[in-house]
Structure 1
Amino acid sequence: MNKNKQIIGFDGAKTCFYLPTPPILPDNWSHTAPNAVQHFIEANGNHWRKILTIMAKLSVTDKNWKYYRDHLLLKQDECISINGNKLNPNASLHIICGQQSALKLSLNSELFKPIALNSNYVSKHTHQEIYLCPYLDYRQFPNLQINILRAALNLPPLN
């Protein structure tokens, strides 16, 4: 099992999610393989299923996030940067997940403003498409906050 991969998915993806802790990837695992997400979840358990679910909810343009999750990394629209210390230069949208990831990227917190009055947990960079959000866990980042970020991304609510 490989724990050293820095980018998971297509590194030229337009959206990059930044997470602090690497998953376990089965040897010879590829995001382009059939059932890649299923094998990813089998190797890493429910915690990573939840992470991929929230990623899908933040990415899907319609409401079918379950289907989107199961094909998430195959679509090549999103990638995950693990423990990155710089922004992915290929991505146009950056979603920084959790304080640990933000600290690792050395982002200037003064350049981020809350995206909604009722959201102290999600903020946007004043000049770039960089969003700070809680770690991708339902206790920290429930559906209400997901929909607030979806609205900022010009996506319809999931409910």
Structure 2
Amino acid sequence: MKNVGFGCSNFSLAVYIENKPAIVAYENLDVIKPLSTGEIQHIGLECGNGWRKVFNVYSKLLYALDLDWFKFACAAPSWQAYRDQHLLQQGSATALLFSPPVINHDSQALHIISGKTYANKLLLAGKINSGLIWLDEQFAIDVKSRLIVCPYFDYRQLSNEKIDRVADYLIQLVKTK
């Protein structure tokens, strides 16, 4: 199995989402495609507010991370500028993947599954290890796989408070390896 989606193939943080944007250019995507400047805006315009929210929440999460451990926020003066100038581009170390997680236990990469429903589908299909420990109804963690399940990347489901929780869980994963 290989990773398919947007971003940097040499990612340190990957978010897994069930669907990809309904744009003909991405229909047969079978690699990790680095986005170019302006492509996130184009996807938002073509595919609607839901995709804008996904990109916004992803960028906000990167800005919520502790600078002692993660340097994403050093690349731009705001989460909006990071989204527009760096997120999912070559060299960003970020990925948004439409394929199931491919976990390499020798890698330092961190993995986030966006949405409990998607995580449960992956579990039932045997696409991810059942080593997840559910912390509550919305969050799960697998320390060995460096994997977190969180609410879907949408403002209503993954509020700023919950983004901070994900950021805290990511720090826990980094510190335990």
Distance 1:22 1:88 in 2: 20
Report the CA distance shift for 1:78/1:7 in structure 2 as closer, same or farther (over 3 A): same
Counterpart of 1:55? 58
Contact 2:110 2:170 in 1 (8 A): no
Do 2:139 and 2:150's aligned partners in 1 also have CA atoms closer than 8 Å?
yes
In the aligned structure 2, how far is the partner of 1:67 from the partner of 1:49? Answer: 14
RMSD in angstroms over aligned alpha carbons?
A: 2.9
Higher helix share: 2
Question: What amino acid does structure 2 have at the position aligned with 1:79?
Answer: A
Match of 2:36 in 1: 33
The answer to whether 1:76 aligns with 2:92 is: yes
Partner residue in 1 for 2:133: 112
1:95-106 equivalence runs, <5 A: 95-106=112-123
SS at structure 2 position matched to 1:33? coil
What's the TM-score, normalizing by structure 1? 0.75
Partner of 1:19: 17
Return closer, same or farther for 1:55/1:91 CA change in 2, 3 Å cut-off. farther
Q: Deviations over 1:137-158 (max 9, x none)?
A: 1111111110111122239xxx
- C-alpha separation in 2, matches of 1:51 and 1:141: 10
Residue aligned with 1:27, SS: helix
Q: Contact 2:16–2:100 (CA<8 Å) still a contact in 1?
A: no
8 A contact 2:132–2:140 mirrored in 1: no
Indicate the structure with greater strand content.
1
- In structure 1, what is the Cα distance between the partners aligned to 2:97 and 2:147? 14
Taking only the aligned residue pairs, the percentage that are identical comes to 28
**SS at the partner of 1:139?**
coil
List alignment gaps of at least 5 residues for structure 1.
Answer: none
Q: What whole-Å deviation, never above 9, does each CA across 1:7-47 have from its counterpart, x for those lacking one?
A: 1222331111111111123638x634231222222221211
Contact 1:16 1:88 (8 Å CA) reproduced: no
Instruction: State the TM-score, normalized to the length of structure 2.
Output: 0.68
